[in-house]
Amino acid sequence: MRRSFASLKMTVQIASRIYGARHPSSGMDQTMDFEISPGQVKSLQTSGETFTLLDVREAWEYEAARIAGAKHIPMGDIPTRAHQELDPDDHIVVVCHHGVRSLTVTNWLRQQGYEKVQSMRGGIDGWARTVDPKVPLY
């Protein structure tokens, strides 16, 4: 049976409530949400927080519109490159076009032991519409 993206998103949201990760700046057992808003990501940047912004879109999408400082690893390359290029102890924010692929990658990375991974809700489209209108829409 094939699952819809809405079904996948609901599954990921439920899993995030059950299996959340510890927040990086706290010794308490707080859970880190699966999703983070573009505004919250901008706040992390502005405050100087250390995190990896991981763009999982295809090369042509990355060339069309990008967020400065993002690390580009297309979604299809994540299984072969993640363990070599990403630190499992880092806070990682995953971004795609609208937030669907980034949720999938976030879920996969969490299953691999990356506990501090979040998907940017709305993707680069949400970023361009709410944070930086200079980033092109496509």
Specify the pTM: 0.79
The 10 Å Cβ neighbour count of residue 103 is 26
Give the model confidence (pLDDT) of 54-89 as tens digits: 999 999 999 999 999 999 999 999 999 999 999 999
Task: Domain 32-130: give its CATH architecture.
Answer: 3-Layer(aba) Sandwich (3.40)
| 96 is a catalytic site residue | yes
Residue scoring higher pLDDT (49 or 15): 49
Q: Work out the pLDDT band at 30, boundaries 50, 70, 90.
A: low
Q: What is the DSSP string of the chain?
A: -PPPHHHHHHHHHHHHHHH-EE-TT-SS-PEEPSEE-HHHHHHHHHHT---EEEE-S-HHHHHHS--TTPEE--GGGHHHHHHHH--TTS-EEEE-SSSHHHHHHHHHHHHTT--SEEEETTHHHHHHHHT-TTSPP-
Which candidate in 36, 92, 93, 96 is catalytic?
96
The 10 Å Cβ neighbour count of residue 134 is 7
